[in-house]
């Protein structure tokens, strides 16, 4: 069950996509929708410094915060009317990631939904955007969306590496998209295979190694899913190669509208970087 949904918005037009998805979750799961905006403290100070000759003071900063609160309230009312749900709104001033993280922990959010900025997402991630920072520090399942849609997920892909976080990712996918077809993928790659091939002098050795590795991965995947109480609708795939690329290729074939990965120090970020053009949404699920 998804009872508590938090949508974090920067009040941009594109950020409204996250609000639509969050409202759909709340309506479908009979959950509570919380809408939050954080005005960065540094931006207020920076603007005040930049316009020092014009004597921008505390009253101006207060006016900007009040304007953000008014815009947040208008968004909440619009979503409430459109989807027929109650929307709780929260405004804060400070570090965006810290404030959102504190709020998520304060009421044990089941999912945090944020939007991206379209074609600039890859650049934003590499520069350390809010979305990227939230992925790295996620304390609850984080849904990053770049399209606006009210349709339920039809096809979901879950990438696993048999860690506990990936087990939680599979369980989260089943909760987030209860009516979807779910495919689970594990990609395996032999380390230093090029060096091994050169030293052995066996030109056909890699093909044999790949087949053995994939066969072993299939067995491990079957055991992993059987132990997770996953529903029969879960389809299983094992592939050889880079995990991020394998996920994206399978997602394209399966027309997955959502890709779910377990939260790790690097894999989630790499997947987000690589996948921005092929999938409309990513969900990273920490343990």
> For helices 16-29 and 58-83, what crossing angle results, to 10°?
40
Query: Per-residue confidence of the chain (287 residues) as pLDDT tens digits?
Result: 688 999 999 888 777 888 999 999 999 999 999 999 998 875 555 555 555 555 555 566 788 889 999 999 999 999 999 999 999 999 999 888 889 989 988 988 889 998 875 444 444 443 346 666 776 666 788 888 877 778 888 999 998 888 877 888 888 888 888 889 999 999 988 765 555 554 545 555 567 778 888 999 999 999 888 887 766 678 999 999 888 888 888 988 988 888 888 765 444 444 444 444 444 466 665 54
- The answer to whether 142 touches 283, Cβ cutoff 8 Å, is yes
**pTM of model > 0.85:** no
Give rounded-to-5 percent helix, strand, coil for the chain: 50, 20, 30
For residue 173, the domain's CATH number is 3.40.50.620
Is 138 in the same domain as 170?
A: no
Is 5 in the same domain as 145?
A: yes
Is 125 in the same domain as 241?
A: no
13 CB neighbour count, 10 Å cutoff: 7
Give the Cα separation of 101 and 8 in Å (integer): 11
Is 26 in the same domain as 126?
A: yes
User: Domain containing 178: what range?
Assistant: 152-287
Count of domains observed in the chain: 2
Residue 88: phi, psi to the nearest 5? -90, 130
Is 204 in the same domain as 278?
A: yes
């Amino acid at each position: 069950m998804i009872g508590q949904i938090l949508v974090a918005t920067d009040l941009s037009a594109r950020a409204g996509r996250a609000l639509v998805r969050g409202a759909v979750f709340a309506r479908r799961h009979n959950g509570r929708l919380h809408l939050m905006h954080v005005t960065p403290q540094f931006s207020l100070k920076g603007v005040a410094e930049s316009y020092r000759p014009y004597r921008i003071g505390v009253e101006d900063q207060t006016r900007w915060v009040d304007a953000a609160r008014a815009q947040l309230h208008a968004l909440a009312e619009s979503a409430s009317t459109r989807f027929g749900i109650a929307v709780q709104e929260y405004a804060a001033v400070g570090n965006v990631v810290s404030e959102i993280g504190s709020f998520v922990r304060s009421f044990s959010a089941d999912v945090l939904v944020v939007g991206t900025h379209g074609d600039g997402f890859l650049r934003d991630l590499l520069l350390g955007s809010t979305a990227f920072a939230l992925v790295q520090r996620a304390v609850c399942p984080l849904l990053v969306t770049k399209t606006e849609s009210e349709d339920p997920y039809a096809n979901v892909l879950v990438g696993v590496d048999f860690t506990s976080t990936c087990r939680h990712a599979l369980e989260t996918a089943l909760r987030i998209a209860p009516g979807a077809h779910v495919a689970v993928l594990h990609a395996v790659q032999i380390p230093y295979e090029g060096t091994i091939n050169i030293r052995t002098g066996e030109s056909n050795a890699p093909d044999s190694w790949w087949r053995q590795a994939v066969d072993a991965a299939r067995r491990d995947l079957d055991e992993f899913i059987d132990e997770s109480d996953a529903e029969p609708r879960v389809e299983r795939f094992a592939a050889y190669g880079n995990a991020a690329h394998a996920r994206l290729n399978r997602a394209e074939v399966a027309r997955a509208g959502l890709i779910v990965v377990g939260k790790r120090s690097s894999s989630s970020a790499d997947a987000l970087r690589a996948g921005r053009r092929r999938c409309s949404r990513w969900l990273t699920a920490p343990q």
